[in-house]
Each structure stands twice: as structure tokens, then as C-alpha cells.
Structure 1
Amino acid sequence: MLAQRISSVNALSALCEATGADVDEVAFAVGTDTRIGAKFLKASVGFGGSCFQKDILNLVYLCESLHLPEVANYWRQVIIMNDYQKRRFVGRLLQSLFNTVSGKRIAVFGFAFKKDTGDTRETPAIDVCSALLHEGAEVAVYDPKVSTKQMIYDLTQAGHSSESIAEGFSAHEDAYSAAAGADAVVIITEWDEFTQLDYNRIYASMRKPAVLFDGRLVLNHATLRDIGFKVLAIGKVVSTDAENLVF
């Protein structure tokens, strides 16, 4: 049920981007209904961790074993929506960078599936970084708790060779070195540290136009735009995306 709520609000985030609505406002309105409540209605790049996907797939298997295909398909859609959200995230980033990241440096802030843990099981960062590597990007990652060894292991398990990882991937000891010379910064994990960074310093060190994609809705987007960033965010039209609204 918790995973279903996340996929539900992420589905609405796509609709919000297409219409110019703000997913945080939609989630707040929905959450004020006491029958629903506000928890697990935060739009994001997608859920991860060891439980949600495994448990839902077990539920799908149980339903199929009991000859309940419609029920199985209903729950499978929670996973489909989560995978779609990650693909959509990467697609929007590509679009913002003129439909190619080949040879471009993308700084990824966060690799763990959520803050305050080093756990990378089913983290959206694996899918995002993997897709960027496949597109020829130089991926520079910073996470305060995940080791370089773990990141490399996860990317290897995702199908990347040691050679491709050595060529296109780097792990950094701080956010500033990851962002130096980057074309875009991507927030994957909602670490508190990322809300306290000096984004003037980060902007000054990046190539222009500097893109920042907030995949966790943790930053002040108006302030970032004032600095000079082209801002993208899940479920929001906060930059020149307004020109591309689909009705």
C-alpha cells in the first residue's frame, strides 16, 4: 500500500508537468483529506530499498498462482509506474541538455535509496546512472555514506563492464568536486546536506547553461533560478519547461 501511494503521486507528477500544475500543491490538497493523510505522498524519482519491489512482486506471484490475473496486473502496475518514473526522469534530463549527454559531465548527488543510510538496494540511482552511462555521459557521483566499491558493484550488476565504468564513472569525496565542470547536477537522494550546500559556488564551477534537476523536491527552486540555474523538478514546471506544456 505504501509503494502504491508513491507510484500514485508519481503518476500525478507526470500529469502536473504536462499541465503546469505543482505536484506539491496537489499532494498537500489530497493529504488534507483525513481518509487519505499526507504520508508517502512526496513525489520523487522513484522508490527503492529492499522491501517494496520484492514484496509487491511476491504479491503478484501469489495472485498469479491463485489464478487472479487482473489482481496481479493491478499490483504489477505499481512497479511499472516506478520504472516509468525513473525513465521519465532521465528523458527529461536528456531533453534539457539538447537530447544528448554524450561527452557531458553529470554530477549525481546521492546514491543511497534514501537519506541516512548507505543502503543501495533497488536505489533509483543505479537506473539513472546506468542510463546516463549508456548515453555516453561522464557520471560524477557523491554520496556521504555509500562507498565507491559499492557503487561500482551496483553498476557492474546493472550490466556495465569494468572498462565502461572506469571510462565514464567517478566517485567523489564532496559535492563540490563532483559538480566541478559539470553540465548538470542531479539530486537523487534527499540528504539534508544537499539543502545546505553553497549553490553559488557550485554554479560558478559548472559549464553553462548549468542545469539542476531536483529529483527529491528538497531545494528552493526560486533561489536557484536567481543564481542562474536552469531548474528542473519532479512534478513542477519551474523553468523554461513552460514553453513545452502539453494540453
Structure 2
Amino acid sequence: MTNITCIGAGYVGGPTMAAIAQHCPEHTVTVVDLNPDRIDRWNSDDLPIYEPGLLEVVQAARGHNLFFSTDIPKAIAEADILFVSVNTPTKTFGEGAGRAADLQFWEKTARDILQHARRPEVVVVEKSTLPVRTAEAMARILQQGPSETRFEVVSNPEFLAEGTAMVDLANPDRVLIGRTETASGRKAAETVADLYAHWVPRERILLTNVWSSELSKLIANAMLAQRVSSINSISALCERTEADISEISRAIGADSRIGPKFLEASIGFGGSCFRKDILHLAYLCEHYGLPEVAAYWESVVRINEWQTERFFRKILATQFNTLTGKRIA
């Protein structure tokens, strides 16, 4: 039996641990969070997030091999595998404000792990979306203290979409695990891979170096957002000509090299991930001396903002330049 702890009971940590508990009944899974109200809801049938199928999985495993708690030190002390799934918002001030990831919660978690870990060996799994080379920084924190625990950090980014998270977890396109190229790093990655192999075919479990894994998450979201901005830019051209953007989307989506997904013209991409991750990516490019690459990815965000503004300008124009007393649905 392995004790698995996840620090962070949010949108990623909760469903992911529920899936692991469901498919790995021989292991004990504990999800911890500083927010007692959130934990209370995970321990009820009024979960803090809604995903189709999530409640049923939680109900089946909770109290058997799935537990939710606010006792973070105890959960860390008992853990053989520690998933870190804390919030990494965009910085609001200081160097990189508005673009770089704010790692204060991540750093606090790393120091909590260093302080409270008690097992001889602990695998720490990055689950949060983090800038490339963050695992290196976490390993540096974990190795600098007096702890007798031997830590190994691996990257395991999530690829969940809102509304289909449980389907994405049950039947993922791939599970990505990044590790250091050492014997202990490879062993840690195999430990995590063995968890997913309970239900994911081995050929879908991809082992990479840790830096490739961290960067792949940002790139995946950037590429999807790029498709949205690309088709929206063409929709503007269609409005100036006699072309139909729906017909164009269908025509180019029929090309097997392109495919139909994320090719529907719209008001633009929203949500909490695409814009944040692209700006993180652009900031990284600038940090590593690639301003041209940064400008390219920032243009994806600019097109998205322009499309939204263009949409609302068209609404305003059809409403005699005023929305006073009007309801837009």
C-alpha cells in the first residue's frame, strides 16, 4: 500500500485524486487544503466544483481509500507520493507583473514538504501548471534543508477541460511524466507511471525529461488558443468578402493534417488558462532572450482581445450606439 497525498483540493487536485482512488483501491489517497470550507464540501455531497460523474466517483471512494482533510502536516508526514496542485496565478506586481507566474503558494508548499516529510523516500509530483525549470527550483529547496528524506521531483501536468474532466481522466490522450535523467529520477517516474497504468494503456504514458514535460503543458494550451485566434482572424476577412467562415472551417477541418477541433469562429477564447499560459510562455521567451518568439505568442492574445472588442463594437453599432435599457443575451 502506498500513501498518496495531494496538496490543493481545487479543480485539478480533487478530480485527479478521485480518479486515482477509484482505479487504485489498494492505495490510500488524501487530499488536503488550507480552506476548511472547501474541505467540508469535499466531505459532503455538495462538492466545491461540478464535473459530470465526479460526485459518483467521490461517493464510492470517500471514507474507504479517499480522504479530505485540512491537516496538511500530518498528510505530508505520512505520504510516499506527494502531488502538488496549488494555485499559480499571474503576478499582479513586481518583475513580470501581468505575465509571469506567481509562485508564492508553490514555494510555501515546497517548504512545508521539507519541514514535515518523514518517509525515507518521497516522490514529489508537480501537478500545477508551472514555468519550465520550476522542478529544478523545487528540488533545490527540498535538498537544502536538514530533512533526512530523499526527495525526487517529477512533472505530471494536467490536460483537463472544464465539463469533461472525468472523461479526460478516464480516457486521456496521453499521460505525461517528466523526470531527471538519473537512476532515482527514472525510478520516481516509473512509480507515478505505475499508478496511471492501472487504467491507462502503457503506450499512452509518455516519459520525458522534466523540462519537456513542464513546457509541454504551456505549449499545448498555446497551440489550442492559436487555432482559435487564427480562425477568428479569418472570420474578419470573411466579413469583408463573400466567403462564409463556417464553410471555410468545415473545408480546412476536413484536411486530416489540420482536423476540425477549435476551428469554430467565436467571440474569442475565455476561461482561466489560455491567456494566462500564453503570457507565461511569452515571458519565458523574453527571459531566455527570444523577443521575436515572445511577440509571436503575444499576438495570439492580441487577436483574441481584438476579436472580442470587434464583436461588441458590432453589437453597439446595431443598437444605435447605446446599450442603455437593453438586455443582450
| TM-score in terms of structure 1 length | 0.42
| TM-score in terms of structure 2 length | 0.32
Q: Relative CO higher for 1 or 2, CA cutoff 8 Å, sep ≥ 6?
A: 1
**Structure with greater Cα Rg:** 2
